[in-house]
Amino acid sequence: MIHPLPRIMIENAVKSALTEDLGRGGDATTRAVIDANLTAKVAIQARDNGIAAGLDVARYTFELMDTTLEIQMNKHDGDDIKKSDVLMTIEGRMHSILMAERVALNFLGRMCGIATLTNSMVEAAKPHTPRIACTRKTTPNLRLFEKHAVRCGGGSQHRLGLDDCIMIKDNHIAANGGNITQTLKRARDYAGHTTKIEIEVDTLDQLAEVLEIGIADIILLDNMSVEDLKTAVDIAQGKATLEASGGITLKTIAGIASTGVDVISIGALTHSVQNFDVGLDYIY
């Protein structure tokens, strides 16, 4: 079981999503056709096989709408789920259930999709065990949710934002006149003693230069072939953490993992994921 996201960290996003959906006048359809006093019991079910993520977010969505709803959790974030599994049941005012339904399912479907894809990548990399990491290529204002979903799928985190690591990319180097040494030294002078420094390289020659300078903690090997990645691991000899990145798919990850890199980062975990199919069904 994965620890849920603290509610204080997700409250504003969930409220904003509910407010967006309710618009200026609330749920016109429900008000028009459902008796205000009707109570019911519904179930959220998986319609495919995958990994659970976002269940606590979905629960909080219903609870924000109506604190009197009775919610039973049958699965938790990080659990394996099968088609037709009941993930949770909700009982109470049908008005409240219907008003929260779509927002809850939107969070749940996206987060389960991310967790499921992440888990597929982790499994495809076996028997090798590099960290499978997400990136900052996330949906605006939903990064915390999406990175939590990656963890639910067995993945790892890259930096959460611009402030928790120094990551030097090609444009940073270009803006310093192409001088890698100067760029790294400026990073070292700026960084606190707990801040790691990562730098992106495109060629084995750049890798060798960075290793000789000896400042970088992590070296990102951008869009390198499997053969070059193997050579990079041999050259580095454990002197820095090596991260492979660039266009990695379920078809290519096994070969990349076999090279011995420490981390494989995949933007597609969050920016190109297929929504996981979940639905809310009336019981009585």
Rounded CA-CA distance 187/184 in Å is: 5
Phi, psi of 278 (to 5 degrees): -130, 150
Quick: pLDDT tens for 209-265.
Answer: 999 999 999 999 999 999 999 999 999 999 999 999 999 999 999 999 999 999 999
For residue 24, name the pLDDT band (cuts at 50, 70, 90): very high
pTM (predicted TM-score):
0.95
- What are the tokens at 21? 């959906």
For residue 64, name the pLDDT band (cuts at 50, 70, 90): very high
Residue range 7-114+274-282, CATH number = 3.90.1170.20
Is the distance from CB of 277 to CB of 113 less than 8 angstroms?
no
Q: What is the pLDDT of residue 1?
A: 74
Hey, where are the domains in the chain? Answer: 7-114+274-282, 123-271
> 123-271 has which fold?
TIM Barrel (3.20.20)
Catalytic residues: 102, 137, 169, 200, 222
Quick: pLDDT tens for 190-211.
Answer: 999 999 999 999 999 999 999 9
Dihedral of alpha carbons 16, 20, 26, 27, sign? negative
Quick: pLDDT tens for 74-117.
Answer: 999 999 999 999 999 999 999 999 999 999 999 999 999 999 99
107, 87, 106: which is closest to 42 by C-alpha?
87
Rounded CA-CA distance 191/181 in Å is: 15
